[in-house]
Chains A and B, each alone.
Chain A
Amino acid sequence: MGHAHESNTKRIWMVFGLLSLVTIVEVYLGIEKPHSLYMTNLLSMNLLNWIFIILTVVKAYYIMWAFMHLEGEKSNLRWSIVGPLVFLILYLVFILLVEGNYVFDVFKTSHYKWIF
C-alpha cells in the first residue's frame, strides 16, 4: 500500500464517461456499418473490425489502469501482469487464426471435405 490514498472520485466519473462514449461509438458504428470501412480490408480483416478491436483495447486499458488501479501500482507488478497477458494472447490468437484460415482454404480449394 505504497500509494497515497487521495480521493479519485473525479477521475472515476471521467473514466466512466469515457467508457460510455467509446461504447456508444461502437454501437453506432455496429448499427450503421459505414460502407467504406466495412468493405475495405487491411490484413484480411475489414477496417471496421480493426476499429472495434482498437476501441476494445482502449476500454480494457482504462478499466485496468483506472478501475483496477494499475496506474498506482509499482511498475514491476504492472509488467508481471500485462507482459505475460499481451505476449501469450497475441501468440495464441496469431497461431489459431492463421490455422483457421488455412483449414478454410483447404476445405474450399481441395477435394477434402472432412479431414480436420
Chain B
Amino acid sequence: MGATVTTTATNGKTWEGGNEPMGASYGKMMMWFFIVSDALTFSGFLAAYGFSRFKFIETWPIADEVFTHFPFLHGVEAPMYYVALMTFILIFSSVTMVLAVDAGHKLQKTKVAVYMLLTVVGGLIFLGSQAWEWKNFIQGSHGAIETKGGSILQFVNKSGERVALADFAAHLPKDRVQKEANLGIWFEGGETLPTYSVEEVVEGFKANPDILIRSEYLTKDKKKTVLSREESLERLKEAKMVVEGANLKHNEYGHKLFANFFFFITGFHGFHVFSGVVINILIFFNVILGTYEKRRSYEMVEKVGLYWHFVDLVWVFVFTFFYLV
C-alpha cells in the first residue's frame, strides 16, 4: 500500500517517502522513468529504420503503394485512410483514458469504470485493425519476381498500374510438388510453393507485350522506374523466384528490410498495446471491486493512464515514419 499511494503514514517524514522533491508519488515517478527508457528503446528502433532507409534511399518502397486496403472496399486503392482510422481509434481511447483519470480525481466510481471499459474496447479494436493490416501485408496484392541479386521486379501495364501475376502468368503443364516432411526420411519440409512458377511468369510476360517491369529505383519524380520492353526481358533473365506477399525473408513490395522493420516495430508496438489492454482490464476490475474507492485515491488509474498515453504517443511516431515520411 505504502508504495502505491502516498498516505498519511508517510506525510511529514522526510526520509521515509514523505518528501517528494518532484511532486510526484514514488509509483508515478517510476512509471515516468519506465516510459523514458521505453521511449528510448522505440527511438532506437525508429532511428535504425531511418539508418537503413538512408542507406537504401534510392530503392526504398513507397508506403502509399504498400498499404492501400480498406475494409469492404475490395480493389479500391485507399492509401493511408485505414491507418488514419487506426490513429483516430487510438487517440480516442487516449481521450477516454484521460476522462477516466479526470473522473477518478472526483472519486466518481461508475464514471471511471465506464471510461476504462471504453478504453479497453478502443485498444481491442486497434489490435484487431493491426492484425488485419498485417494480414494484408503478409498476403500481398500483386506478386513479384525476385532476382538472383535480391532485387524485386514488379509488373505494370502501359499506364503504369500494377498488374497481378494471376492476370498474365501462363499455365504450363508442370507438376511442381509441395515438399512435406512425409516425403522423405530426413526431410523436414520445404518452402511453400507460390501460385506460379518462374517459368510460368516469364512465359506469360513474353506472351503479353503490354506488360512492363517496374524496378525498385526511384526516378527524379520520386516514382519507381518503369523499364522498356527490351530492358524488361533482359532483367527477367535474372529471375530467381516468385514472391507473393511479405515475410521476414522476402517482400514483394520492395526492400526486405522494409518488411523486417515493419513487422518488428509495429509488432513491438502492438505488443505494448496488448499489455496495455491487459493492464487496463485489471484496473477496470479493481475499479469495479471498489479497491480505489476504499483507498480514496484513483492514482493507479492515473499510472496506467500514463502507460496508455505513451502507447498512443509511440503510435503517432510510427504513423509518421512508416506511412507519411
Do A96 and B106 have beta carbons less than 8 Å apart?
Answer: no
Residues of B within 8 A of A77 (CB): 22-24, 29, 32
Q: Does B275 reach chain A (CB closer than 8 Å)?
A: no
Tell me the interface secondary structure of chain A in the complex: helix
For residues 267 through 325 of chain B, which have their beta carbon under 8 Å from a beta carbon of chain A? 299, 305-306, 309-310, 312-313, 316-317, 319-320, 323-325
Instruction: Report the minimum CB–CB distance from B52 to chain A (whole Å).
Output: 7
Q: Does B50 reach chain A (CB closer than 8 Å)?
A: yes
Task: Return the contact of A92 from the options B44, B54, B94, B305 (Cβ within 8 A).
Answer: B44
Q: Does B264 reach chain A (CB closer than 8 Å)?
A: no
Contact with B along A95-116 (1 / 0, CB 8 A): 0110111011001100000001
Do A63 and B36 have beta carbons less than 8 Å apart?
Answer: no
Task: Return the contact of A73 from the options B23, B87, B310 (Cβ within 8 A).
Answer: B23
The count of chain A contact residues (Cβ–Cβ below 8 Å) is: 56
Q: Does B218 reach chain A (CB closer than 8 Å)?
A: no
Instruction: Report the minimum CB–CB distance from A85 to chain B (whole Å).
Output: 6
Q: Which residue of A lies closest to B56 (CB)?
A: A104
Known: A31-B79, A73-B24. A16 touches B47 (CB 8 A): no
Do B88 and A100 have beta carbons less than 8 Å apart?
Answer: no
Q: Does B51 reach chain A (CB closer than 8 Å)?
A: yes
Task: Return the contact of A12 from the options B95, B310, B316, B319 (Cβ within 8 A).
Answer: B95
For residues 40 through 89 of chain A, which have their beta carbon under 8 Å from a beta carbon of chain B? 49, 52-53, 55-56, 59-60, 63-64, 66-69, 73-74, 76-77, 80-81, 84-85, 88-89
Instruction: Report the minimum CB–CB distance from A90 to chain B (whole Å).
Output: 10
Tell me the interface secondary structure of chain B in the complex: helix
CA distance A80 to B24 in the complex (A): 13
Instruction: Report the minimum CB–CB distance from B113 to chain A (whole Å).
Output: 17
Q: Does B40 reach chain A (CB closer than 8 Å)?
A: yes
Do A100 and B320 have beta carbons less than 8 Å apart?
Answer: no
Do A20 and B91 have beta carbons less than 8 Å apart?
Answer: yes
Do B36 and A96 have beta carbons less than 8 Å apart?
Answer: no
Q: Which residue of B lies closest to A46 (CB)?
A: B222
Residues of A within 8 A of B79 (CB): 30-31
CA distance A73 to B21 in the complex (A): 11
Task: Return the contact of B92 from the options A2, A16, A24, A100 (Cβ within 8 A).
Answer: A16
CA distance A52 to B95 in the complex (A): 23
Residues of B within 8 A of A92 (CB): 43-44, 47
Q: Which residue of A lies closest to B105 (CB)?
A: A5
Do A16 and B91 have beta carbons less than 8 Å apart?
Answer: yes
Q: Which residue of A lies closest to B149 (CB)?
A: A113
Do A89 and B43 have beta carbons less than 8 Å apart?
Answer: yes
CA distance A116 to B310 in the complex (A): 35
A-B contact pairs, 23 of them (CB 8 A): A1-B23, A3-B23, A5-B105, A16-B91, A23-B87, A26-B324, A38-B222, A53-B320, A53-B325, A56-B316, A59-B316, A60-B316, A63-B313, A66-B98, A68-B306, A68-B313, A76-B21, A77-B23, A81-B36, A85-B43, A97-B51, A100-B55, A104-B57
| Complex A-B, nearest 6 residue pairs according to Cβ-Cβ distance, in ascending order | A100-B54, A74-B23, A5-B105, A100-B51, A77-B22, A96-B51
